[in-house]
Structure 1
Amino acid sequence: MKLEELRLKLNSLSIYKKVLDDKLLNGIYVFIERLFTDNVDLNTFARYYNSIYYDISTLIGKRTLREYIENLIITDENPFSLACESTEYDRIDSMLLKAASNDLRTIKQLTCISSEIFKEYALKNICNLDFEIETVKDFPDWDFDTCNEIKEEQLNEPIKEVLYRKDDWGNLTRELWEFYRANGTGIFSKFRAFVWERDDNGGRLKGVDSPDPVLLSDFIGYEEQRAEIIRNTEQFLDGYSANNILLYGDRGTGKSSTVKALVNEYYKRGLRIVEVPKNYLIDFPKILTQLKDRKQKFIIFIDDLAFEDAEENYTCLKAVLEGGIQARPDNVVIYATSNRRHLIKEKFSDRLGLHSGNADDEIRSQDTIQEKLSLADRFGIIIVFSSPDKQDFIKIVEGLAEKRGISYDKEKLEREALKWEMWYNGRSPRTARQFVDWLEANKSVVCN
């Protein structure tokens, strides 16, 4: 393919045009445009050419450009992918399908472009002197058409294998529909976990590249508590009404890890998790707006929830839990953790107000007290995670040691584990895990 033809095709992209916003592809596109719209000298050519080579080296790494672009396609949010997420294939507008098909063919051609056509252009149109010709010939080469070198283990998703096996991507609109239908579009197909961040536009969902890998099978103890959380989550995924959940109790008992493990267990069924810092609860309406029309199911996760007396953020949470003008969407539940049963701190002065003679005190102080106590009650399910007793603590330690393949003398293990919890953070699953982490490097202490 010649650069003139590729330029026309890239300028003709309509549905997948946002892939050209990618840093690498945008660099290639801008380079081609400059070659045909400006009087480019050899220094400018060299700067653009080698900037692209640098981006290839840093952004693609061990992947091929073909695989790199495949990821852009399956995570792109556009009119076609959004239609696939919510519409049966046979009901998608035929012109939209045709536009997507044309764009996919163009993008596939982009994966096969090599550095040679740029060098040939420079040698023919820019270079005049011998040293210029030799310099261009010595520029580092890249070959985008290296798809045959891809390793089989990299084809870890069916859609990637389809894109890898097929040369005509224009005929893959149905296969992409199946992918978008099952996995969603944009960042929701790329990530399973998100955090809400404030930015200049008010706030955004940021995907988490490496979420906590904890699994439900990693836990020992608290089986009844987790069973109730799992039941509610599966009910939610099955399309039934589900309750918001408050997990409260002692530190280190696995409340937060339990919530994080849910998305690792059920993300293939469309479950996603969005962590919202307590200070950003006022952004709830914006967050719900971004989630409400999505195919996926979302757990909004609020960790370590507690409010000071003067805070107003709790009114935003209370409105979402129950009674707000903007109803909680059917695809959203709220799971929160706290070390406190009563989420808003109550002072003795609040109760003194019931019998105070101070003219500045509230007349209906009992109403204020009930207001503070009512927030936790707005969660449909409240799960208690208390610190384990001695027997349960030892069971957790033994179970973790067995999972790690550590052989031990029962009496020695118990003695050392109890010493550890006295020296450090008290009895909790977290302390048990920390002890076993230490034990892996000091197995002789508890050997038979």
Structure 2
Amino acid sequence: MSDYPNCHKLLICRSLLQDPAIQALGAVLDGDKSQTGVCAAKLIATAEDVGLHGNLLRSYIIYLLVHDANLAAQTIEVSNGPVGGSLKQAFTHDLELLLPFLTNPASLYLDLPLLDDYEPTVRQQDEASTALEALLKTAKTAEDYAKALLSYYGSFGYGDIASFKAFRWDDKQQRLLGIRHFEAMQMDDIIGYAHQKEQLIDNTEAFVQRKPANNVLLVGARGTGKSSAVKALANVYYSRGLRILQLTKPQLSHLPDIMDALRYFASKRFIIFLDDLSFEESDAEYKYLKSAIEGGVESRPENVLIYATSNRRHLIRESWRDRDSGKDEVYRDDSVNETISLSDRFGLVIQYYAPDQKEYLAIIDHMLRKAGIKLSPEELRIAGVRWELTHSGRSGRTAQQFVAHYLGQIDNGEE
């Protein structure tokens, strides 16, 4: 029980000492039993919030170690490499001090047996937590824990950058905010467009491998899965360090600050995702994007690419009037070149076309089969085509809307 006072000797992980539950634990070990409930309540609340289980004191301390910044995790993130020998030794020193709390039952310190094998209402089942459990499964010594945690920092990072696959930018706080309910399909669930997916994956694979790769413009018919394909990359490459940052058009003016923030996370690769992008000639934001892609004084970070989707090949709207030779402009070609120069800065342009009837019905069939429903070819054709004719034509989005309607009618007993 005298182990806790030695924690004032922590070198790398001193932020733990500012945590309310750890402070309450310290008070309990110093003889103030009234703080037992304070500490236990915090452990249980966190367990229910993020799905901690088992020995809650051990799980909670590990949770802090992978979510709060410490010098070892920050160094790996910034340098994109392993920590030096001395820093590793200091980190291991800290884990030696924490080892009793990582290896002994929580009830030994808090006198509450329910904390020794806690089962939350919903367990955490994401890829990062599963990988962390595997790394720590056989850990017994401080060296084992240090090795496992440093390996985790190298693969996933720490804090929000480890917990989330996708982010948005907070203009006021000037920082990344994780998107907790990020809806990303699996790439295999995007039916058809094999060549387009191959192009997108090949480019992203090169990017993740730190090889030369292009900014990408996915362009074509609405509802064809352009946005879904980009989001699906987060599932494919998350464990290899890829993250998605979705920006809105007005936020393009913040691109210099955003690029600086992303440059810090050198061990991660970021795709800045601009969905359904288009500009009017009067819009100023496209000039920020042009500069960010190519041509600005400050280079784009090597760990950042820009992927955009649009229904238009030329992102800046142009009318026939703009090409009118009688328009009051001395250098008409310069004006035309300005409107197409943004699209030209995307090194890879992937074209999407509306699916034919066979592809459209295949999408519906795939979605229904995932829900455990198999229609005959004739039933599928009649129902799918009827829906298409009364809605906005053939597309993946139309197919998804049909499936939602069909499943809803089954639940209502009307099919």
TM-score range for the pair, normalised by the shorter chain length: 0.7 to 0.9
Cα separation, 2, equivalents of 1:198 and 1:346 = 31
- 1:179–1:373 distance in 2 versus 1, CA, 3 Å: same
Instruction: Give the equivalent residue in structure 1 for 2:64.
Output: 72
- Could you tell me how far 1:377 is from its partner in structure 2? 1.2
Counterpart Cα distance in 2 of 1:158 and 1:402: 31
Unmatched runs of 5 consecutive residues or more in structure 1: 119-140
Q: What is the SS of the residue equivalent to 2:312? A: coil
Indicate if the aligned counterparts of 1:70 and 1:163 stay in contact, CA closer than 8 A.
Answer: no
Which residue pairs with 2:216 in the alignment?
Answer: 245
The aligned residue for residue 145 of structure 2 is 172
State the 1:265 CA deviation: 1.2
Instruction: Say if 1:161 and 1:236 are closer, same or farther in 2 by CA, change over 3 A.
Output: closer
Equivalence for 1:212: 183
Q: 2:360 — aligned with what?
A: 393
Which of 149, 166, 169 is the equivalent residue of 1:193? 166
Inter-CA distance 167–403: structure 2 relative to 1 (3 Å threshold) = closer
Does residue 1:421 correspond to 2:388, yes or no? Answer: yes
Displacement of 1:81 after TM fit?
2.2
**CA distance in 2: counterparts of 1:144 and 1:348, whole angstroms:** 74
In structure 2, C-alpha distance between the alignment counterparts of 1:438 and 1:117, rounded to whole Å: 55
Instruction: Map 1:16-415; keep pairs closer than 5 Å.
Output: 16-22=13-19, 24-25=21-22, 50-61=37-48, 63=53, 64-84=56-76, 86=79, 92-94=84-86, 96-110=87-101, 142=112, 146=116, 157-163=130-136, 165-169=138-142, 171-200=144-173, 203-293=174-264, 294-347=266-319, 350-351=322-323, 354-356=325-327, 362-415=329-382
Give 3-state SS (helix, strand or coil) of 1:337's partner: strand
State the AA in 1 paired with 2:219: Y
Q: What secondary structure is seen at the aligned counterpart in 2 of 1:388?
A: coil
In structure 2, the CA distance between the partners of 1:53 and 1:446, relative to structure 1 (3 Å rule), is closer
Work out whether residues 160 and 178 of structure 2, in 8 Å CA contact, stay in contact via their aligned partners in 1: yes
Q: Shift in Å at residue 87 of structure 1? A: 7.1
C-alpha change, 1:250 and 1:291, in structure 2 (3 Å) is same
Residues 246, 381 of structure 1: 8 Å contact kept = yes
Larger Rg: 1
Letter in 2 for 1:77: A
- The structural deviation recorded for 1:332 is 1.8
Distance 1:159 1:388, change over 3 A: closer
Of 229-238 and 144-153, the range deviating more from structure 2: 144-153
TM score, norm. by length of structure 1: 0.78
CA contact (8 A) 1:113 1:144 kept: no
Q: Is the 8 A contact 1:193 1:207 kept in 2?
A: yes
Rate the CA distance shift 1:398–1:12 in 2: closer, same or farther, 3 A: same
Q: Is the 8 A contact 1:412 1:446 kept in 2?
A: no
Distance 2:117 2:137 in 1: 8
Supply the AA of the counterpart residue of 2:141.
Answer: D
Letter in 2 for 1:248: V
Task: Please state how far the C-alpha of 1:193 moved relative to its aligned partner.
Answer: 1.8
* SS at structure 2 position matched to 1:330: coil
Contact persistence 1:299–1:332 (CA under 8 A): yes
SS in 1 for 2:169: strand
* Change in CA separation of 1:148 and 1:441 when aligned onto 2, cut-off 3 Å: closer
Give CA-to-partner distance per residue, 1:146-194, whole Å, 9 cap, x none: 1598999979635434545434335532333322223333433222222
Q: Distance in 2 between matches of 1:23 and 1:115?
A: 18
CA distance in 2, matches of 1:256, 1:351: 31
Cα deviation for residue 20 of structure 1 reads: 4.1
Higher mean alpha-carbon deviation, 397-406 vs 283-292, is at 397-406
Aligned AA (1:393): Y
SS of residue paired to 1:274? strand
Distance in 1 separating the partners of 2:144 and 2:359: 59
- Is the 8 Å Cα contact of residues 408 and 446 (structure 1) preserved in structure 2? no
Aligned mates of 1:367, 1:21 — CA distance in 2: 60
Classify 1:362/1:11 alpha carbon distance in 2 versus 1 (closer, same or farther; 3 Å). farther
In 1, are the aligned partners of 2:24 and 2:36 still within 8 Å (CA)? no
Gaps of at least 5 residues in structure 2 are none
1:257 deviates by 0.4
* Structure 2 residue matching 1:367: 3-state secondary structure: helix
Q: Counterparts of 1:254 and 1:152 in 2: how far apart (Å)?
A: 31
**C-alpha separation between the residues in 2 aligned to 1:260 and 1:87?**
25
> Does the C-alpha gap of structure 1 residues 148 and 108 become closer, same or farther in structure 2, counting only changes over 3 Å?
farther
Deviation at 1:304, TM superposition (A): 1.3
Q: Does 1:14 align with 2:11?
A: yes
Q: CA RMSD in A?
A: 3.6
